[in-house]
Structure 1
Amino acid sequence: MHAFPATSPAAALAAVFAIAGPLAAPAAQAQAATAQPLAYGIPAGPLDAALTAFARTSGVLLAYQPDLVRGLASPGVQGRLAPTQALATLLAGTGLQAAVAENGTWTLRRAAEPAAAARPAAASGAAGAALPEVRVTAQAERDGRTEGTQSYTAAGPSGAATGLALTLRETPQSVSVMTRQRMEDFRLETLADVMVQTPGVTVTRQADMTTFQVRGSSVNLKVDGNRLLSSGWGWNSHIMYSLDDLAEIDRVEVLKGSSGLVNGDGDYGGTVNLIRKRPTREFQASAKASVGSWSAYRADADISGPLNAAGTLRGRLVAAHKDADSFRDRQHNRNSTVYGTLEADLTPDTVLGVGLTYKERALRSATGTTPIQAFSGDGVAVPRMPRGFNIGAPWAGYDQEALGLFARLEHRFASGWTAKLQLARDTVETPDMRIGYLRYALPGQVQYNRYTDIDDRNDSISLDVQGPVQLFGRTHDLLLGAGSARSRTTLLRGSTLVSTLAAAGVDYASGGAGIAKPDWNRLAYSNDLFSRKNRYVYAAGRFNLADPVKLIAGVRVTDYDQDDVTDTGWYNYQLRERGVVTPYGGLVVDVAPNISVYASYASIFQPQSNKDAAERTLPPEEGQTYEIGAKGEFFDKRLNVALSHFWMRTDNTAEEVGLNDNGDSIYRAVQGAMRHGYELELSGELMRGWQAQGSFVMNTSNLDSASTTPEHQFKLGSSYRFAGGALQGLTVGGGLRWQSAISTSRGTATLRQDAYWLFDLMARYQVDRHLSFAVNVDNAFDKKYFSGVTNFTSQGLFYTWGMPRSVNVSARYDF
C-alpha cells in the first residue's frame, strides 16, 4: 500500500485535523468494489455525453480536459461490464486511453502519450502557464457539487422541490442555483450578497435588517436540507443568517413557490437551501486576501483532501475573517468563520460525515430596524439625508457567536436504494444587543432599546430512503422520509426609553454620533420564550408512465406546535396543528431529447401569530402554487434554460392595518390573495469560456402592501475567460440589475423609488496555475437609490439607502 511521505500535502492536512490511523476499508477493498460489473445502456453518440453517462452510472471520479474529447464520437456500451471494460469500450476508436492516478481519479490521455500523463490534469502544466480547464464529471453529476466545475449552472441532482434526486430539467418547479464559481467571480461573500444576484429574489433593506422575498412573499431557510425554524428570520434577521459569511458553502439553491412537500409549514414564496462544501478525494488548498472600499479587509483559506493512504478518510478546513467599515457613518462590522468536516468510507457503500461551523460576528453603530424618516405620521416631509447618514449611536450594536454541528450517515444498497440519516444543531447566542437611535418624528426623539441573553437554537433529525421500484414493466423512483425539527428562542426584552432631542443634547441633522448611553437600570425586562416544533412523515415518487412522460406525486403529514410565552399579554399564545396534509403533484413531458414541458401543484400552510385589533390570533395561512413551464438542457447539459408561468393563491394572509396602544402591529386576514407572474432564466455556458446567469421576472399581487416589492425585475451576471493569445489567463465580466418602481403611502404622502439600473464589473488575471489577481466594482456608476421603503403607519414613512459604488481588489493562491 502506498504511504504518503511526512512532507506531503495529505500529511499536512492530517496534522491539521489531528487524526491518526485509518478509519475505513483499505484501498484494495475499494478497488474490488470498483471492479464489480454494472449494467450499462449508453448509446452511440458524442464522446463527452457518453463519458458523462458512464460516470453517473459507475460512480467513478473522471477528470479530463474538454479539448481532449471535443468532436469525438463513442460507439457506446451495452450490457453488464466492469467499469474498466465499459470505459475501454466507450473509448474504442477515439485514440484515447484511461488511466487511474494514485489518488483514485480516472483520467484520459492520448494512446501515444506516456504513462506520466496519467497525473491529474490540475497538477500538470508548466510554470507561468494559465491553469487549463478541467471538467470533473462524476462528482458534479453524482451529488450536485459545483466547486471545480467553473460553471454558473448545476449539473447534478437536487432535492429542493421534492426530496427526490432530480436535475433542474426533471424538476417540475422553478429552481435557481448560485454556484461556487458564480459566488467567487462576483465576490458574493454573505447570504445577502448572494440573494441580491439570485434570479427572482427581492432583497429589501430596513436599516440593519435584510429580508428576502420570492414572488412577493417571504422565504424559508435550510442548511444542507435541515430546516431552520427560528423566529429570527423576520424581525431578528438583522442579527442572524443574512449577513453570515459563506466561505464554507458550495452552492445556494432557491426553490420558487410553495414547498409543503419538503417543509410542511412555512412561507409560500420559496425556500433557500445553503449546501456546505464537502471534503474532496484529491488534495486542494487555496488562500485569498482582499481589500476594498470603507477599509474592508478579508482573508480566507480552504484546505481539503485525503487523510490516509487509501483516501477513505477525508477532511476539510475553511477559515475566513473580515473587518470592514460601512458607507454609513461610524458603522463597523467584524465577521469570522471556521468550518471543519470529516468524511469516512466505513465500507465501500457507507459514508459517515461529521462537522462543525463556528462563527463570530459583531456590529457597531447599529440602528436596528428603524430606517431614515421621510415623512412624519402626519404626512409632513422630512429633509432627505445623505447616504452616509446614520441615526445609530456609536455604542449601539452587539457581539454574536454561532455554532453549527452536523452528522450525516449515507448508505447505498446493492438494489440501488440509498438511505441518509442527518442530525444537526445550530445555535446563535447574542449576550447583549443595545440600540440607540434618533427619529425626526416631529418633535424629534431619541429611542433606546436593549435585548440581552438572546439564545436561538435549532435541532433537527431526518431519515430519507429512496430508490428504484419495478411496476408494470417500468422502473420508477420512490422516496420515504420522516423527521423532526425544533426551534427555541429565549431572551430578555427591555422596555423602551424615549427622550426628546433637546433632553438628549443632540441635533437630528448630525445623526446619532452624540447619543450618550442611557441608564440601563431604568429598563424593565420581559422574559420571552418562542418555541416551534415540526414533526412529519412524507412520501414522494417519480412514476415512469411512458418513456417521455414522468408523473411526480407526493404527500406530507405534519404535526406543528408553537409556544410563545412572555411577560406581556400581547405575545402570549399557543398554536397546535395536527395531521396537516400538504400534497404535491407534477407532470414532466419530454418533447425533445433536451427539452421538457411541465405542470405542477404545490401547497403549504403557515401557522401565524399575528393578531387583530381584538388580540385574536389569525388562523393559519394557506397557500397553493400552480406552475406551468418549459425547461431545456443545451451544449451537453452545460446550459440550462427555463420559462415558467405561475399562479399563487393564499387565504388568511396577514395584512397590517395599524398599531395598537402598545405600538404593536394590528393585522387583518385577507382571503383569496392572488399573485401571478412569469419567469425566464438561463444559466451556464453560452460558448466555450462564456458563462452567464440571467433572468427576467414579473409578479403581480392584489395586496395593498405589494407596492413595496418590484413588479418587474431583471438580473444578469456574465463572464468570459480568454483561452489563448495575448489575453490568455484573463477573465472579464459584468452584471446588470434592474427593477421597476416601488412605493409606500400614508394619506397624501407617498415615498417612491423609481425604476433603476445597477451595473457591476469584474476582472481576474490568472498569472500562472497558482496565482491570480481580481478586481470587483459594484454599482459602478454610483447610482443613488432606496434599497427599501417602509411604512410604520402612525410613525410615518421611512427609507434605507442602497450601497454606493464600492471597489475590491483581491489575490488568490492555489497550492
Structure 2
Amino acid sequence: MHAFPATTLSAALAAAFAITGPLAAPAARAQAPAVRPVAYSIPAGPLDAALATFARSAGVLLAYQPELVRGLDSPGLQGSLPPAQALAALLAGTGLQAAVADNGTWTLRRAAGPAAAVRPPASNGAAGTALPEVRVTAQAERDGRTEGTESYTATGPSAAATGLALTLRETPQSVTVMTRQRMDDFHLETLADAMVQTPGVTVSRQSDMTTFHVRGSTANLKVDGNRLLSTGWGWNTHILYTLDDMAEIDRIEVLKGSSGLVSGDGNYGGTINLVRKRPTREFQASVKAGVGSWSSTRADADISGPLNAAGTLRGRLVAAHKDADSFRDRQHNRNSTLYGTLEAELTPDTQLSGGLTYKQRTLRGSSGTTPIQAYSGAGVAVPLTSRSYSNGASWGGYDQESLGLFARLEHRFAGGWTAKLQLARDTVDTPELLIGYLQYALPGQVQYGRYADIDDRNDSISLDVQGPFQLFGRTHDLLVGMGSARARTTLLRGNAAGASLAAAGIVYAEGGGITEPDWRGVAYSNDLFSRKNRYVYATGRFNLADPVKLIVGARVSNYTQRDVTDVAWYNYQMRERGVVTPYAGLVVDVAPNVSVYGSYASIYKPQSAKDAAERTLPPEEGKTYELGAKGELFDRRLNASISHFWMRTDNTAEEVGLNDNGDSIYRAVQGAMRHGYELELSGELARGWQAQGSWVMNSSNLDSASTTPRHQFKLGSSYRFAGGALQGLTLGGGMRWQSAIATSRGTATLRQDAYWLFDLMARYQLDRHLSFTLNVDNAFDKKYFAGVTNFTSQGLFYTWGMPRSVNLSARYDF
C-alpha cells in the first residue's frame, strides 16, 4: 500500500479547511490501541462474523483480505480480555495471526510454520504472489458507512426505523439502502437519479418538479437523521433538495411505511435519510472528470484522512461541479457542491465533529411546475409534442445558494452507554425565480410569474442516549431522546398579466418565443410559511429469549404551523399538542441468519386542506402493519427480504371540486386502505457479482392512486472479472419496469402503458490508480411519460421521460 506522510496530508487539508496555527508535529509512532479489557460474548461460528463482532465491541479498526478468512471458523470468545488477547483467542486454530500497524490498525496474516498449512492461500497466481489491495468493512460494521465496501448492501447498523443501531435483519420494518458503490457504478449524481433506481420508490415528474412516492405516499426527507420539514407550496418543491448533488453522501436509507417514532409528523409512505461521508482514518484521495449527452461536463475531487500524526484529528473535503444542457429545448443547468468536515477525538471516549455543505445551482429555461398539455379543460385533445419540446421561456429559472451546517458530539460512557448531541441548520436562498410558460387551454395563454427573496431554512437539535441494561437475567437495549425541528419560508410572490397565444404571435406546438414582460409595477404578496415540532421519545429492545426480540417505543410531539399569505384560502394557524405515535415490533430468529418479524408503526400529519365550508380537515393519521422475513446470506454479504404490508389512513384529503374562487375543495376519507408486498435483495450473489433488485406491489382504494404504478420491478447488477484476459473489467446493467398509470377528466383519459427501461455500465480498471467508466441510461431510447397530471379545470398534462443518454468518465485514485 502506498503510504503518504502525515505531515503532507496535514498541510494539504489544513489549507483546504483554512485551519490556522501549526499542526501537531509528527510522532515517531501512532498512538497504541487501547489495551483495557473489554467484555465479549462471541459465539463459535464463521470467522468473518466473529471478527466483525470483535471489531465493533473493541472499537478498533481491523483490516484483512476477505479471501484470507473465507471458509474458516472461530471457536468464539466469552469473557473480558484486552484486544490483543481477545483477537488471538478468536484466531486459535485458524492458521492466522494478528499484528498492529503503526497507525493503530489491526491486520491479519498467515502464521509462519505448520499452522500456515491449515488453509491454502486463495490466489490466482503462484504462491507468494501479492494479493490486490482490498478495503475491508470493519469500520462499516461499526457505523454503517458503505464507502469502500464495494457492496450494494449495508453491512452495518441503521437507526432509520427505531433510532436504535440495528442491522437490516434486526429491523422489523422494510429498509432499503443505496450504497456509495451502487451510486458510483450507475452514475447516480442527484437525489432524483438515485431514487429512480431505488427499490420501492416511484419518482413522478411534473415539468421541473420532482416528487418521491413510497407505498403510494409522498416521502419525508432527512439528512443525517435531522428532519427537513417541507414548507411552501408545490411550486417550491422543484427548487428544494430533489435535484441536490450526492457527491458528499455516503448512503441513502429509505424506510418504508410510517415513521412516527423517529419523525413524529409527516407522510406515512416512507422516509428518505441522506447520510454524509465522514473523514477516514487513512489517507485517500480521488479526482474524477466526465462528459456526456447534451454537452454535459462534470468534475469531482475528494480528499480525506488524518490531520495529525496520532490520527485523532481527521478531515475531509469534497468538491463537484457540473454544467449541462437538457434534452428539453433551451434548458441549461449548472451545479456546484463543496463539502468539508472535521472529526476530532477530544478524549478516547469523546468525539466532536462538524462541517458544512455549500451548494450553488442555476437553472435556465424553466417552465416551473406546468407540464405539457394533453387535453384542455373541455376535453379537447392536444397533439403530442416531441420529447425535446419545452413550453418554458428561455429566460425562466433561478440562481440559488444553499448552506448546510452541522455539528455532532458523541460520548461513550461505561457499561456500553452512549450519548449523541446533534445540531443542524440548512438554508436555501433563491433571490429570484422567473417563470414563463405556454398553456394550450382554450384560448391558449402565455403565463408569467415572479417570486423574489425566497428564503428557506430548517433548524434542528436532538439529544439521544442509549445503551444496554440488565433485567430478569438478560441484556436489553434502551434509547431515550428529545429534540426540536423548525422550518420557515418567506418570499414575495407576484404575477405579470398574461396574454393570448395569438396576441403573442406564438404557436403552442412550436414552443419558445416567449418575451420577458416588464416586471415593474407588479404587485407582490408577502408570504410566510412556518412549522415547528418538539418531541420526546423512547425505544426499548427487549431480549425475551435468545431468538426473540421485542421492540416497543413511543413519541410525544407538539406541532405548530403558521402560514400567512394574501390569499385567504392559504392562511393557517394550526396547533397539535401531546400527539402520541406508538411503535411495536417483534423479531424472531428462525435460523442463525434468518428472521421473521411483525410490526406496527404510526404517524400523524396536520393538514391545511379545507372542505366546502372552508374548515380545515383534522390531522391525517397513518398506521402501517407489516409482516415479513429477512435473511443475511453468504456470510452476511447478501441481504434478502419479503414483506407484506397494510396501511390504513383516516382523514385523508381527497379533492372533490372547486369553490367559487377556483380553489380546491377536499373531503376527509376515512379508512383509506393501501396494501401490498415487497421482495428485495441486495449484495453479493457470488464473488465479484453485486446486485440490488425488488418487486413491489401497491394497491389503494383512492382514485388519486392511479397516477402511481401498482406494480414495479427494479434490478441493478454488476460483475467484476477477477482474472484472465478480462481482469480489471466490470460490466453491469439495470432494468426497470412499471405497470400502467393514468388520469382522467370527464371522458378524456391520459394513460401511460406499462414499460421497460434498460441501463448499461462498463468500467475498466487500467491500474490501481486509473479507471474509465461508461454509462448508458435508457439504452433502447424508450419514449414514455415520467408523470401525468390532472389540473382539473385546466386539463390533463404529461412530462416526457429522459431519452437515451451516454456518459464517459475517468477516475484517478491516489
Look up the SS of the partner of 1:236 in the other structure. Answer: helix
Distance 2:418 2:195 in 1: 32
Q: How does 1:515-530 map to 2 (within 5 A)?
A: 515-530=514-529
Report the Cα offset of residue 443 of structure 1.
1.5
* Cα distance change, pair 27–796 in 1 and its aligned pair in 2 (3 A): farther
Distance 1:569 1:18 in 2: 50
Aligned counterpart, 2:351? 351
Aligned counterpart, 2:304? 304
Aligned counterpart, 1:813? 812
Q: How does 1:726-737 map to 2 (within 5 A)?
A: 726-737=725-736
* Cα distance change, pair 6–700 in 1 and its aligned pair in 2 (3 A): closer
1:276 aligned onto 2:276: yes
Report the Cα offset of residue 498 of structure 1.
1.7
Report the Cα offset of residue 25 of structure 1.
14
Distance 1:207 1:599 in 2: 40
Aligned counterpart, 1:466? 466
Aligned counterpart, 1:177? 177
Check the 8 A contact 2:363/2:398 in 1, yes or no: yes
Q: Write the letter of the residue equivalent to 1:428.
A: V
* Cα distance change, pair 573–356 in 1 and its aligned pair in 2 (3 A): same
* Cα distance change, pair 5–53 in 1 and its aligned pair in 2 (3 A): closer
Distance 1:93 1:652 in 2: 63
Q: How does 1:51-450 map to 2 (within 5 A)?
A: 51-112=51-112, 132=132, 134-232=134-232, 234-450=234-450
Report the Cα offset of residue 23 of structure 1.
8.5
Report the Cα offset of residue 73 of structure 1.
2.8
Distance 2:286 2:642 in 1: 38
1:569 aligned onto 2:581: no
Please identify, of 444-453 and 38-47, the stretch whose mean Cα deviation from structure 2 is larger. Answer: 38-47
* Cα distance change, pair 16–571 in 1 and its aligned pair in 2 (3 A): same
Aligned counterpart, 2:598? 599
Report the Cα offset of residue 522 of structure 1.
4.0
**Percent of aligned pairs with the same residue?**
82
Check the 8 A contact 1:159/1:165 in 2, yes or no: yes
Check the 8 A contact 2:26/2:308 in 1, yes or no: no
Report the Cα offset of residue 414 of structure 1.
1.4
Report the Cα offset of residue 754 of structure 1.
0.2
Check the 8 A contact 1:131/1:766 in 2, yes or no: no
Report the Cα offset of residue 234 of structure 1.
4.1
1:299-324: CA deviation from partner (whole Å, max 9, x where unpaired): 11000000000000000000000000
Please identify, of 168-177 and 650-659, the stretch whose mean Cα deviation from structure 2 is larger. Answer: 650-659
Aligned counterpart, 2:703? 704
Aligned counterpart, 1:647? 646
1:573-597: CA deviation from partner (whole Å, max 9, x where unpaired): 1000000000000000111111110
Aligned counterpart, 2:749? 750
Distance 1:95 1:236 in 2: 62
* Cα distance change, pair 601–30 in 1 and its aligned pair in 2 (3 A): farther
1:405-460: CA deviation from partner (whole Å, max 9, x where unpaired): 00000000111000000000000010000000001112111000111100001000
1:798 aligned onto 2:766: no
Check the 8 A contact 2:229/2:487 in 1, yes or no: yes
Unaligned stretches of 5+ residues in structure 2: 114-124
Look up the SS of the partner of 1:14 in the other structure. Answer: helix
Check the 8 A contact 1:25/1:348 in 2, yes or no: no
Report the Cα offset of residue 636 of structure 1.
1.1
Q: Write the letter of the residue equivalent to 1:373.
A: Q
1:194-227: CA deviation from partner (whole Å, max 9, x where unpaired): 1001110000000000000000001110000000
Check the 8 A contact 2:9/2:306 in 1, yes or no: no
Q: How does 1:673-688 map to 2 (within 5 A)?
A: 673-688=672-687
Look up the SS of the partner of 2:502 in the other structure. Answer: helix
Distance 1:6 1:696 in 2: 48
Check the 8 A contact 1:770/1:814 in 2, yes or no: yes
Check the 8 A contact 1:10/1:283 in 2, yes or no: no
Q: How does 1:582-661 map to 2 (within 5 A)?
A: 582-661=581-660
1:720 aligned onto 2:719: yes
Q: Write the letter of the residue equivalent to 2:358.
A: Y
Q: Write the letter of the residue equivalent to 1:810.
A: S
Check the 8 A contact 1:23/1:313 in 2, yes or no: no
Report the Cα offset of residue 612 of structure 1.
2.1
Look up the SS of the partner of 2:32 in the other structure. Answer: helix
Aligned counterpart, 1:453? 453
Q: Write the letter of the residue equivalent to 1:568.
A: V
Report the Cα offset of residue 563 of structure 1.
0.4
Aligned counterpart, 1:503? 503
Report the Cα offset of residue 55 of structure 1.
1.2
Report the Cα offset of residue 29 of structure 1.
10
Aligned counterpart, 1:31? 32
Distance 1:377 1:708 in 2: 18
Distance 2:26 2:211 in 1: 47
Report the Cα offset of residue 291 of structure 1.
0.4
Report the Cα offset of residue 91 of structure 1.
2.0
Look up the SS of the partner of 1:71 in the other structure. Answer: coil
Q: Write the letter of the residue equivalent to 2:808.
A: V
Q: Write the letter of the residue equivalent to 1:460.
A: S
1:592-634: CA deviation from partner (whole Å, max 9, x where unpaired): 1111100000111000111223322111111100000000101
Distance 1:29 1:800 in 2: 57
1:530-551: CA deviation from partner (whole Å, max 9, x where unpaired): 0000000000000001111100
Check the 8 A contact 1:484/1:535 in 2, yes or no: yes
Check the 8 A contact 2:675/2:700 in 1, yes or no: yes
* Cα distance change, pair 426–384 in 1 and its aligned pair in 2 (3 A): same
Look up the SS of the partner of 1:669 in the other structure. Answer: strand
Distance 2:516 2:416 in 1: 64
Report the Cα offset of residue 663 of structure 1.
3.9
Check the 8 A contact 1:729/1:765 in 2, yes or no: yes
Please identify, of 417-426 and 83-92, the stretch whose mean Cα deviation from structure 2 is larger. Answer: 83-92
1:480-531: CA deviation from partner (whole Å, max 9, x where unpaired): 000000100000011353210121222212102x110112124211100000
Check the 8 A contact 1:322/1:334 in 2, yes or no: yes
Q: Write the letter of the residue equivalent to 1:477.
A: D
Report the Cα offset of residue 30 of structure 1.
5.5
Distance 1:450 1:655 in 2: 29
Look up the SS of the partner of 2:238 in the other structure. Answer: helix
Distance 1:547 1:24 in 2: 50
Distance 1:285 1:106 in 2: 22
* Cα distance change, pair 25–468 in 1 and its aligned pair in 2 (3 A): farther
Q: Write the letter of the residue equivalent to 1:453.
A: D
* Cα distance change, pair 27–206 in 1 and its aligned pair in 2 (3 A): farther
Aligned counterpart, 2:492? 492
Check the 8 A contact 2:151/2:182 in 1, yes or no: yes
Distance 2:31 2:475 in 1: 28
Report the Cα offset of residue 27 of structure 1.
10
Report the Cα offset of residue 261 of structure 1.
0.3
* Cα distance change, pair 650–228 in 1 and its aligned pair in 2 (3 A): same
TM, length-normalised to structure 1: 0.95
Report the Cα offset of residue 570 of structure 1.
1.4
Aligned counterpart, 2:122? none
Check the 8 A contact 1:26/1:312 in 2, yes or no: no
Please identify, of 250-259 and 90-99, the stretch whose mean Cα deviation from structure 2 is larger. Answer: 90-99
* Cα distance change, pair 525–27 in 1 and its aligned pair in 2 (3 A): farther
Report the Cα offset of residue 14 of structure 1.
3.0
Aligned counterpart, 2:119? none
Distance 1:56 1:608 in 2: 43
Aligned counterpart, 1:49? 49
Q: Write the letter of the residue equivalent to 2:743.
A: T
Please identify, of 350-359 and 518-527, the stretch whose mean Cα deviation from structure 2 is larger. Answer: 518-527
Unaligned stretches of 5+ residues in structure 1: 114-124
1:779 aligned onto 2:770: no
* Cα distance change, pair 711–43 in 1 and its aligned pair in 2 (3 A): same
TM, length-normalised to structure 2: 0.96
Distance 2:714 2:475 in 1: 40
1:352-382: CA deviation from partner (whole Å, max 9, x where unpaired): 0010000000100001000000000010100
